[in-house]
Chains A and B, each alone.
Chain A
Amino acid sequence: MWQMMGSSVRGPAHRRAGQPNQDAWLSRQNRAFALAVIADGLGSRPHAAAGSRAACRAVAEAARAWSAAPGAPPDLLLRLIHALWNIRVHALGAGDSSTTCAFALAVRDGPLLLAQLGDGLVLARCGGDVILLEPPAERFGNTTTGLGIATDLREWRYHLAPRPPGPAAILLATDGIADDLLPDRRLDLLDALIDRHGSMPRGECSRLIGSMLRAWPTPGHRDDKTLAILWRTEALEGQ
Chain B
Amino acid sequence: MQLKEFTTGAARPLPVILLADVSGSMHADGKIAALNASIRDMLASFATTDDQGAEIHVAIITFGGTAEVQTPLATANTVQWTDLTARGSTPMGKAMELAADLIEDREKIPARAYRPTVVLLSDGQPDPGWENGLTRMTKEGRAQKADRMALAIGADADVDVLRRFVAPATDRLFGAADARRIRDFFNFLTMSVATRTRSVNPNELPPMQDPYDLDRL
* Chain A contacts to B: CB under 8 angstroms: 12-14, 16-17, 19, 43-44, 135, 137-143, 179-182, 185-186, 188-189, 192-193, 196, 212, 215-222
Distance of A192 Cα from B3 Cα, bound (Å): 10
The 4 nearest A-B residue pairs measured at CB:
A220-B11, A179-B112, A217-B4, A43-B201
Number of B residues with CB within 8 Å of any CB on chain A: 34
Instruction: List 23 A–B pairs whose Cβ atoms lie within 8 Å, in order of A's numbering.
Output: A13-B199, A17-B200, A44-B201, A44-B204, A137-B106, A138-B106, A139-B142, A140-B145, A141-B12, A141-B115, A141-B203, A143-B115, A180-B8, A181-B7, A182-B7, A185-B5, A192-B1, A196-B1, A215-B3, A217-B7, A219-B9, A220-B51, A222-B52
With most chain A CB atoms within 10 A of its CB, the pick from B11, B51, B55, B201 is B201
User: In the complex, are the beta carbons of A189 and B6 less than 8 A apart?
Assistant: yes
User: In the complex, are the beta carbons of B6 and A188 less than 8 A apart?
Assistant: yes
Contacts across chains A and B counted by CB atoms under 8 Å: 100
Distance of A216 Cα from B5 Cα, bound (Å): 11
User: In the complex, are the beta carbons of B203 and A142 less than 8 A apart?
Assistant: yes
- Kindly list chain B residues whose C-beta atoms are within 8 Å of the C-beta of A17: 200
Interface string of B112-135 (1 = CB under 8 A from A): 111110000000000000000000
- Kindly list chain A residues whose C-beta atoms are within 8 Å of the C-beta of B10: 218-219
Given A140-B114, A143-B203, do A182 and B8 touch, yes or no (CB 8 Å)? yes
From residue B145, how far is it (CB to closest CB) to chain A in Å?
Answer: 6
User: In the complex, are the beta carbons of B200 and A141 less than 8 A apart?
Assistant: no
B155 proximal to A (CB < 8 A): no
Distance of A12 Cα from B55 Cα, bound (Å): 15
Distance of A218 Cα from B9 Cα, bound (Å): 5
Q: Which of B5, B11, B52, B200 contacts A19 (CB 8 A)?
A: B200
Distance of A185 Cα from B1 Cα, bound (Å): 13
B54 proximal to A (CB < 8 A): yes
- Kindly list chain A residues whose C-beta atoms are within 8 Å of the C-beta of B142: 138-140
Please name the residue on chain B nearest to A43 by beta carbon.
B201
